[in-house]
Amino acid sequence: MNQTLLNPLRQLRLSGLAQTLELRLQEASSNRLSHAEFLELILQDELNIRNQRMMERRNKSADFRDTKTLDDFDFAFNTAIKRKQIYDLASGQFIRESRDVLLIGPPGVGKSHLVQAIGHHVIRMGFTVLYRSIFDLVRDLMEDDALAGNNRALSRFLKPDLLIVDDMGLKELPRKSGEYLFEIIMRRYEKRSTMMTSNRPIEEWGKLIGDVPSATAILDRFLHHAEIINITGKSYRLKDRACSKGK
């Protein structure tokens, strides 16, 4: 391609347009496209590349544990999980309304899969997401001593449109965990959406956190506008293990 075209495109950071320009020039010549039709095509190419890169950056920034999608989820295995309810969440409406979501159920029923898949879906709609296990969230805040006024440490958890906090209830949390979690929930309350998963009933959160007053304050705010999804049924992991043994 003529360098007199490529150089200004690079200077203007129109790399998406530069990638497809030669093909579009041939297409315009072959199909006798008007100037307006040609311009529309090359501008759309640039927008497509930019959107793709934005989603790649946001997926990387979300720090998901796994790449999960709703298409991969076996709704037929566990009929307690309502497909429509999950896809409604994946539409992102609860984020637009600054509502929260809590998924409760025993280990292995697909809670982590679902929240990460929902996270991937809403990123495509332009939302920002951060995924952390409860242990990583508390560890990050304790290491940065966020309660001592380090707002930069807190900002990572306050900025995303959706914060996903996974694995509540796998084991008891370190001392002062309740204070850190309360700070996050309180600051996001009615401003940003938070989605959590728990392996234990909410009545046991005080024991898990080691601080009943903090647990009460957390639940008071988090559950105010929350959609609670109770999941029962068999473990997907046990199903997969049984299948592998049967082969």
Q: Could you read off the pLDDT of 152-184 as tens digits, one per residue? A: 778 899 999 999 999 998 888 888 889 889 999
Region of residue 118 (phi > 0: left; psi between -120 and 50: alpha; otherwise: beta): alpha
72 belongs to a structural domain = no
Domain end marker among 30, 61, 92: 61
- Say whether both 107 and 195 belong to one domain: yes
247 belongs to a structural domain = no
CA distance 190 to 182: 14
**Is pLDDT of 224 > 80?**
yes
How do residues 178-208 score in pLDDT, each as one tens digit?
988 999 999 999 999 999 999 999 999 998 8
**Is pLDDT of 136 > 70?**
yes
- Say whether both 52 and 174 belong to one domain: no
- Say whether both 220 and 117 belong to one domain: yes
- Say whether both 227 and 138 belong to one domain: yes
Instruction: Look up the CATH number of the domain holding residue 89.
Output: 3.40.50.300
State which residues form the domain around 133: 83-242
CA distances from 208 to 1, 171, 195, 215 (A): 63, 7, 18, 9
pTM for the full predicted model: 0.82
pLDDT at 128: 97
Percent of the chain at pLDDT > 70 equals 91
Number of domains in the chain: 2
- Say whether both 168 and 109 belong to one domain: yes
Which amino acid appears at position 111 of this protein?
K
Nearest to 89 by CA among 116, 66, 62: 116
Which whole number is the average pLDDT over 55-67?
A: 92
- Say whether both 56 and 119 belong to one domain: no
Which whole number is the average pLDDT over 216-243?
A: 82
pLDDT at 172: 81
- Say whether both 9 and 50 belong to one domain: yes
129 belongs to a structural domain = yes
78 belongs to a structural domain = no
- Say whether both 102 and 212 belong to one domain: yes
pLDDT at 242: 47
